[in-house]
Structure formats: C-alpha cells, structure tokens
Structure 1
Amino acid sequence: MIKDTRLDPDELLRKIQKEEQKEISGRLKVFFGMVAGVGKTYAMLNAARGLKKEGVDVVVGYIETHGRKETEELLEGLEILPRKKIEHREIEFEEMDIDSILRRKPEVVLVDEFAHTNIPGSRHVKRYQDVIEILNHSINVFTTLNVQHLESQVESVEKNTSVKIRETIPDSILDMADEIVLIDLSPDDLRKRLQEGKVYLPEKANLAGDHFFKKENLTFLRETALNYTARHVNVALDSEKFREKILVSIGSSPNSYSLLRYAKRLAYERNGELFAIYNQTRENLTKENLSQLEKNLSFARELGCEILYAADEDTAEAILRISGQKSITRVVIEKSDTNWWWRWNSTASKLARIPSNFELCLVPYSFISGEESVLNRFLRTSSGGKQYLTSLTLILLATCISLFLEPIAGYWSISLLYLFLFRELDLFFPKDLRYLQDYCPEFFGIFYSFHPDILFL
C-alpha cells in the first residue's frame, strides 16, 4: 500500500496563514540565556548600537540595567522612550509605555525581560503580550529571556534547582521568534561575575551564590539552554523533513499540566509536532473539574498544541482512531498509580495490549505529580554543614550495620553495601563532599576489619 504523503488541508491552511501573518508583522529577535547575568541585555544593546550606526531607527522601549555600569554605558546615544507610571497600593511603579512606542513607530524597539509580569492596572498582564501588540503594528522587537521562564522547562528547573519559578512564558510565544541568539557563559565565569558584583548588589549576590547560582544549578541550566536552542535551530532547518507527531492525552486532572510540559520537552527533543486529545465521556464533571479542564486546554494551546476533541465511549479507542487519522508516531499518557486490578482496565493498559503504529510513552504518576520522599527532598536541598553531617552520619550508620551483618553476609557483601551507599550520595551532594565520601569509608572499613570488637566498648 502506497502511503499518502499529501499535506492535510487544515495543516496547509495553517502554514499559509502563518506565512501571511509573518509578512505583515514585525520580526522578533530573542537574546536567550541560562540565567540572569550572562550578558543578554549587554549583547542586545551592542546589536542595537550596530544597527544605529547603519542608519536603522532604533529606540529603547524598556531596559533594566540592574545598576550594571557597563550596561548603562551602552545606553548612551540611544533614544530612550518615556515609561508609563502606574500606581498600585499607593506605590508608583514604571512600566513600558506601549502607546508611546506605537506613536513613535521605530524600525526596532528594545524590550528587556520578555517574561516579566506587568503591574496590575497595565494594559496587558504579561510583557510578552505587550510585545505581540507591538509586533502586530509592524515594529521589530529585540528582547531577552532566560530558559527557566519557559513553561515546558519550569518543573524540570524547579526539581533540579529547588527554586520556585514565578514568571513564565508559553513556549508557543518563543516559537514565534524569527531569530534566537544564545548568550552563553560558563558557570565558573558567571560565578566570578557574581562575586565581583556585576550581576547583583553584594548583599544579594552572596545569597544567590549559595542557592540558585550554585555551580551544579548553573551547569544544569546551561545544558538546558544549549539543548533548547539547538532544537529550535533544527526545527527551523528541518521543517520540510520528517517530523514526529506526538499526541498527549489530557483530562480534568491537575496532573495534565505536568504531562503537557513533559510532552512539550519530548516534542523539542524529537523535533516533533505536538497534539493534545481530550475525550469527552459520559462521566459528569463537577464545577471544579470543568474549571480545571478549561485551564488544561488553555495551557495546551499556550504550549503550541493542536487540540483534538473526541466523544468516544472509551478513551483508548479515541486515541487509536485519532492516531490513525493524524499519523501519530508517539502517544504520551499517564501511567496509572492504582492497584494492579484497576490498572488492567486503564487506558494505558488497553493501548499497550492493542497493536498500533505508534510508540506508547507511559509517564509515571509520581513523576508528573511531583511527589517526592522526605529523605530525597532533604538530601537534595540541604547545603553546607547539613550535607557534611548527613554524609558522616550515613557512613557511621553503614559501619554499625556492617558489624551485625558481617557474620551472616561476609566481608565482600559489606563492601558492596559501602559502594551502594556512596554511589547514591553522589546523586545528591556536590563534588566537594565526595572527598569525605571517598576517604571515610576506607577509614571505617579498615578500622572495622582490624578492630571489630572495639565498637562494643
């Protein structure tokens, strides 16, 4: 059977509309980085100064210098538009003045901090909405963004850094960008800038260095930013080549948020298109469930999903039918956390038993619900003296356990106990603690081997 390779009419229409929209709107250029302080605003201002020398009409809509002298110096010679003053709770704040930009109508406007949340009383809730309005008036925009503010990356960043991300931006907004410029800096160089007071004021810099700006956090964020940028470039270059089609099943559960984020990251990794399916069964939903469902569907749209609706008796049948119609290559679904006799009749189990042309990706409930044991959370979030004390306590505990197990299990089994313990500690603690983990087990092991009875004294 010859496979029909013709474009779906709806997909073709979306492509035509997207191209037409690009022709009438301004261009969006995003200076993208792993975290504050890598030089995004600095690079944006340098690019703007270069354009001005070439005769391009460039203005500053909103720039946040954070008191950095080198950034303030680059503002000299650039036209800075006035900000709009907004009073909130008897305090006066300044926000970007959209009307001032639209009246001035420059070729390029600089807008810092793309994910910023505007003060209540502003025209839009989020700054990216301000940017969209400016783009719709055929004005080009340069802006800045950190990787942790992307919706698809929020849970991954929070889990790995133990820092709550409060300002986010839908991935679909970044997908609108005509150009993404990665501003890269090594973790060591960034920490040096932090210590020199080039990122935050000294009192704030010390606190940041011990928390969000820890080297292991910066290494993770840098890798995330590099991977995201590389995938964005691959999507642009390979747009006409084969792309995976990923379908995620959502419902009225709050877990759908995490499931959607996981599917979005997977779509970037696989250079794929993302679809979300909601199957409306006869089950009556409460007001709370209906409200959550609307939030889930809205969030799916923000991530750039194409929403597919079904009304089948069985969700598994709906997924199979839609997958065939859309040539889906991968289905993402929550793995049930119920007892085994309930799992047999779950959507995931039914899909696993039925032959299909797609790969089934089951996401464990514990992964998407964010549940974590108290011990894991303590080990992962502890720092400084707590980590040393915990390591030493666990080593002593392992030695005491070895004393009682050795007559039964033997010396080599005890060695494996030590090996397992210290490999597990490596997952939670930084490198500077591994010296303790490397030498302490040897000391206690030798001490125990030659003086087993002294532990009874």
Structure 2
Amino acid sequence: MLEADPAAKTRADDFLAIIRKQQAGKLKIYLGPCPGVGKTYSMLVEGNRLKKGGVDVVVGYVEPHERPETSAQIGDLEIIPPRLTTYHGIALKEMDVDAVIARRPTVALVDELAHTNAPDSKNRKRYEDVEDLLRAGINVISTVNIQHLESLYNFVEETTGVRVKERVPDEILTKADQIVNIDLPAEDLQERLQAGKIYPKERIEAALANFFTQKNLTRLREMTLTETANFLDRKQRDAENDQNVSALGQVMVAISSQGPDPGRLLRKTARLAAQLNAQWYAVYVRTPSESAVRIDAETQRRVNDTLETAQKMGGLVFSMKGESVAKALVSFAREYGITHIVVGRPGPKRLRQYFQSSLHEVLLQELPDVDLVVV
C-alpha cells in the first residue's frame, strides 16, 4: 500500500487555491473621505454604462438616502428585491445574498460595504455578504468611506473625535482588484451639505459643527488619497515581483497580556505591513508566570480577543511558550526573517517587569538590522 506524499498534497492544494482564485469574482471599490462625495452615484453611473455595453448588471443593494440625483441613476437597472425583516419593531431591508447568487449576474452593485446587517441575517457584516458573492464568481462594485477602515480607527477618532462603530478589515481593500478615489474639496462638500444634498435639514447644523468641519474634511481627504496611493503602489509592486513579496519586509508585533491599547498596536502594525506590502505576525509569548493555572480568566480573555482581532485583520497569529519574552521574540524574528518589530511603550512597573525591563534594549542589540517601532 502506497503512503500519501505530504509534499504532493501541498502542491495539489496550492493548485486548487489558484483555480479557486481564478473562479472568484473581481472586486471594485469606490472609496471616499466621507458621506456625500458621490460614491453611490458613481457606482450607479458605472452600472448603467456596463449595462449599455451588454454586461449583465443587477443592484444587489443600494441606499440612495433620498438623494434625487442618486435615485435617478438607478434608472432601468434590475434590482434584486431586498430581504425584509424587523428588529425591535423597526422594519429593515437587507441585501438578499442567496437571491443574488441564484440570479448569478456578471456584476452586482452593493452599496455601503461597512454596513452591519440585521441580527437574523446570514452574515453579520455586508462585506461578508460581498465575500460570498465573490466566491460564487460574481463581480462586485461597492462603496465605503475611509473612516470605516479598521486600521484607521484610532487616527479617525483623534482627528475627528468620532468613534466609528462600523468597520471593515484592511484585508478587504487589500484584496480589491480596483479602488477609485471619489474626492471633493472641503468647501464643495460643505456647500452640498448646506444645500440639503447629503443630510436632512434638521441634521445640517450639527454636521457642520462636528464632523463636516474644514479641518476634519481636509484630514479625511488626505487619508483617502494616501490609502489610494498605497493601494496603487502595492498593485504595481505585486505586478513587478509577484513571487517575492517577503523581499519587501516581514513585520511582527509583540502582544502582551498587560500591555497598552492592543487595538492601536494591531492597527499600527497592519498599516505598516500594508505600506511595505509585507506579511505580518502577531506573537504572544506565554511565560511561566502566565501559565494556565496562574493567569486569571479576564487576562486570558483579553489575550484571546487580541489574537482573534489580529487574525481578522490579516495577521498570522503565533502563541509561544518561553522563559524570556525577549529571547523568544528574537528567536522568532530570526527564524521568520522579520525586518520590522512593533512593540508597545513600557508603562507601569508591572509591565516593565513582564518585559524584564529590557525588551527594547535586547531587541535592538540582538537584531541590529531590524527596525523597531514603539507605539
């Protein structure tokens, strides 16, 4: 009896992944700095243009927000009826993912990528609905604002004072085949707002005083332009060197059970990896003092949540055992060819003890060719 060759199985799995990738639909995203710049309008205009060119296009879901100019662009496009549901007595409409897949159009227009679905939906988030469509071989054109990008959460909060609840993983934009920046000067956006083209009249004054300030809009536009430029740069480098991504860098973030804001640490790492077009790793070292019998349930939950979040953001997660955090990280960095390490800034005495008071010094001394980023 012949035994299976593990290497042969790996090669077969690799080929299967290539086949599936070729069969998957393509994703195009209209990216904007804020509501009202014309993302949905542009998506519908393209949908109509494709239809006139003989392409089978449907509207999977669109939210015109009672904007006449946008609603008019729906025109003769076929609309897949939304799925109707109620939540706490409120009638809600959601994209009927199964109906779109059953219809099997060439292109589906799906608005508001960051939307959170009703509790009884197949998926929790609309971007997960879009992933289902792509896996079914349906091409998707969608829309999203820059403030919904996961890795920008802290930057957006610091800039605008707004905590964005609905967010999409950076990986969604990274996997997109095309991103189009829909931009308008801050002055034009404020004029559109005052003219009632973005929000109802009762919301205009508050919006101008808070989110739609000149400072906020300018900063959000800068973020959008930067993200679009990074996307184009990554695509170009992929085309030039598709088989050697790791040559551009490998990024590692050190996770601590008692460290600083883990969300900020992960977002910084994800953005750095995206800019380098690099793979990134979230590494947690469990020392004897944090064994299963000594660590409390709350700390364990916090570590697990952090590692789970890292995985959702596109990082590869490693949990290791070691007597020394610093030695374990140095060993990992050497084995995986790490070029950049992200760590939190030491704070309370207990944190310095966890890091054995010299993590940064050890990393700098043992890994002189590695860039150390302190958050």
Q: TM-score surpassing 0.5?
A: yes
Where is the helix percentage greater, Structure 1 or Structure 2?
1
Residue 119 of structure 1 and its aligned partner are, at CA, apart by 1.2
Residue 271 of structure 1 and its aligned partner are, at CA, apart by 3.7
In the alignment, the residues of structure 1 paired with residue 352 and residue 55 of structure 2 have an alpha-carbon distance, to the nearest angstrom, of 68
What is the identity, as a one-letter code, of the residue corresponding to 1:293? V
Residues 26-105 of structure 1 aligned to structure 2 (within 5 Å):
26-105=25-104
Pairing partner for 2:341 from 331, 349, 355: 331
In the alignment, the residues of structure 2 paired with residue 238 and residue 229 of structure 1 have an alpha-carbon distance, to the nearest angstrom, of 14
State the match for 1:166 in structure 2.
Answer: 165
In the alignment, the residues of structure 2 paired with residue 356 and residue 13 of structure 1 have an alpha-carbon distance, to the nearest angstrom, of 40
In the alignment, the residues of structure 1 paired with residue 114 and residue 12 of structure 2 have an alpha-carbon distance, to the nearest angstrom, of 30
Q: How many residues align?
A: 353
Q: Among the aligned pairs, what percent are the same residue?
A: 38
Residue 179 in 1 paired to residue 184 in 2? no
Residues 267-346 of structure 1 aligned to structure 2 (within 5 Å):
267-282=273-288, 283=290, 284-338=294-348, 345-346=357-358
In the alignment, the residues of structure 2 paired with residue 323 and residue 341 of structure 1 have an alpha-carbon distance, to the nearest angstrom, of 21
Q: Deviations over 1:176-211 (max 9, x none)?
A: 211111111111111111111111112212211110
Instruction: Give the alignment's Cα RMSD to 1 decimal.
Output: 2.2
Residue 119 in 1 paired to residue 131 in 2? no
Tell me, yes or no, if the aligned pair for 2:234 and 2:275 is still in contact at 8 Å. no
Residue 248 of structure 1 and its aligned partner are, at CA, apart by 0.6
Tell me, yes or no, if the aligned pair for 1:251 and 1:296 is still in contact at 8 Å. no
Q: Which has the higher contact order (CA 8 A, sep 6+)?
A: 2
Q: Deviations over 1:359-393 (max 9, x none)?
A: 11122xxxxxxxxxxxxxxxxxxxxxxxxxxxxxx
State the match for 1:391 in structure 2.
Answer: none
Residue 19 of structure 1 and its aligned partner are, at CA, apart by 3.8
Counterpart secondary structure, 2:124: coil
In the alignment, the residues of structure 1 paired with residue 172 and residue 367 of structure 2 have an alpha-carbon distance, to the nearest angstrom, of 37
State the match for 1:247 in structure 2.
Answer: 252
In the alignment, the residues of structure 1 paired with residue 57 and residue 49 of structure 2 have an alpha-carbon distance, to the nearest angstrom, of 10
**TM, length-normalised to structure 2:** 0.89
Tell me, yes or no, if the aligned pair for 1:45 and 1:75 is still in contact at 8 Å. yes
In the alignment, the residues of structure 2 paired with residue 202 and residue 13 of structure 1 have an alpha-carbon distance, to the nearest angstrom, of 60
Q: 1:209 to 1:33 in 2, by over 3 A?
A: same
Residue 150 in 1 paired to residue 118 in 2? no
In the alignment, the residues of structure 2 paired with residue 286 and residue 186 of structure 1 have an alpha-carbon distance, to the nearest angstrom, of 52
Residue 304 of structure 1 and its aligned partner are, at CA, apart by 1.1
State the match for 1:360 in structure 2.
Answer: 372
Tell me, yes or no, if the aligned pair for 1:332 and 1:362 is still in contact at 8 Å. yes
State the match for 1:422 in structure 2.
Answer: none
Structure 1: 5+ residue stretches without partners: 1-10, 364-457
What is the identity, as a one-letter code, of the residue corresponding to 1:145? V
Residues 348-387 of structure 1 aligned to structure 2 (within 5 Å):
348-363=360-375
What is the identity, as a one-letter code, of the residue corresponding to 1:78? L
State the match for 2:7 in structure 1.
Answer: none
- Greater mean deviation of Cα atoms: 321-330 or 62-71: 321-330
Tell me, yes or no, if the aligned pair for 2:346 and 2:352 is still in contact at 8 Å. no
What is the identity, as a one-letter code, of the residue corresponding to 2:40? T
Residue 257 in 1 paired to residue 263 in 2? yes
Tell me, yes or no, if the aligned pair for 1:344 and 1:350 is still in contact at 8 Å. no
State the match for 2:231 in structure 1.
Answer: 232
Higher-Rg member (1/2): 1
What is the identity, as a one-letter code, of the residue corresponding to 1:125? R
State the match for 1:266 in structure 2.
Answer: 272
Tell me, yes or no, if the aligned pair for 2:60 and 2:79 is still in contact at 8 Å. yes
In the alignment, the residues of structure 1 paired with residue 106 and residue 303 of structure 2 have an alpha-carbon distance, to the nearest angstrom, of 41
